Amino acid sequence: MSDHDPLRDLWAGQETGNFVMPLEDVRRKARGFQKTIRRRNMTEYAASALVIALFGWTAITVPEPIVRAGCFLIIFGALYICWKLYGLARSASGAEMDAAQNLMTFHRAELLRQRAALASVWRWYLLPFVPGMAVFLGGVSFAPDNPAPLAVKLVIFLFAAMLVAALFYGVWWLNQRAVKALDGEIAALEGAGEDQPVDS
């Protein structure tokens, strides 16, 4: 490896220009990155705020107690998700500060962190909405002032529940697909550090 390699001469001799970043620019950009992260987090919180506002308004305006109970449960679910998102965002910015770890450690930790968040999406992102949605749909479908026969009410409830279930399944499936892709990356990374020749 210590042999003279003309490629190294070619590489070292390339014209790189004169890139200089004054300290003030570095500090300004560093503040800019923090703002970008905050803005991204705010977008995620805004979606939860919208859900809370919508179901909060419904809870206030609809007199039916079961529907109102469903709305409050959905709001609690959205608040729980905000709390989990806050924890994930904190963990991500913590990972940024470990940037000087070696590549294997840094990327393995990053991939495992992403994998954990995606693999458990049903638990922290979907499940919190399930009790609220079930009670809300039940309250709407079986409302006492609805003159429809019980069988029709049941069909409406099941149809709505299936739509929500299909939506939840879609979210879960997309995340599981991402988990499989991450598993491949993690396996490749773990194999990469071994002494044996690795196929490319």
Partner 1 sequence: MKPVFDQDQRYLEAAEAHGGALQRLARAMEAHPERRRDLLQEMHVALWRSLAKFDGRCSLKTWVYRVAHNVASTHVGREVRRNRGLVGEDAIGPVVAADNPVTDYEREDALERLNAWIRALKPADRQVMTLYLEELDAPAIAEITGFTPGAVTTRISRLKARLAEDFRENADV
Residues making contact with partner 1 (CB under 8 A): 1-2, 5-17, 19-21, 23, 26-27, 29-30, 33, 96-97, 99-107, 110, 188-189, 192-198, 200
State the DSSP H helix or E strand holding residue 107, giving kind and residue range, or none if neither. Answer: helix 103-119
Return the H-helix or E-strand segment holding 134: helix 130-141
Nearer Cβ to partner 1 (113/153): 113
| The one-letter amino acid at 194 | E
Nearer residue to partner 1 within complex by CB, 93 or 166: 93
Residue number, 164 or 178, with CB nearest to partner 1: 178
Residue closer to partner 1 by CB (options 31, 123) is 31
Q: Exposed/middle/buried for 133, CB within 10 Å: 0-12, 13-18, 19+?
A: buried
CB-nearer residue toward partner 1: 1 or 150: 1
Least gap, CB of 91 to partner 1 (angstroms): 16
In the DSSP assignment, the letter for residue 144 is: T
Q: Least distance (Å) from partner 1 to the CB of residue 13?
A: 7
Number of neighbouring beta carbons within 10 Å of residue 167: 12
Rounded least distance, CB 171 to partner 1, Å: 18
Q: Residue 118 CB, nearest distance to partner 1 (Å)?
A: 14
Closest C-alpha to 80, from 24, 127, 19, 23: 127
Is the Cβ–Cβ distance between 121 and 175 less than 8 Å? yes
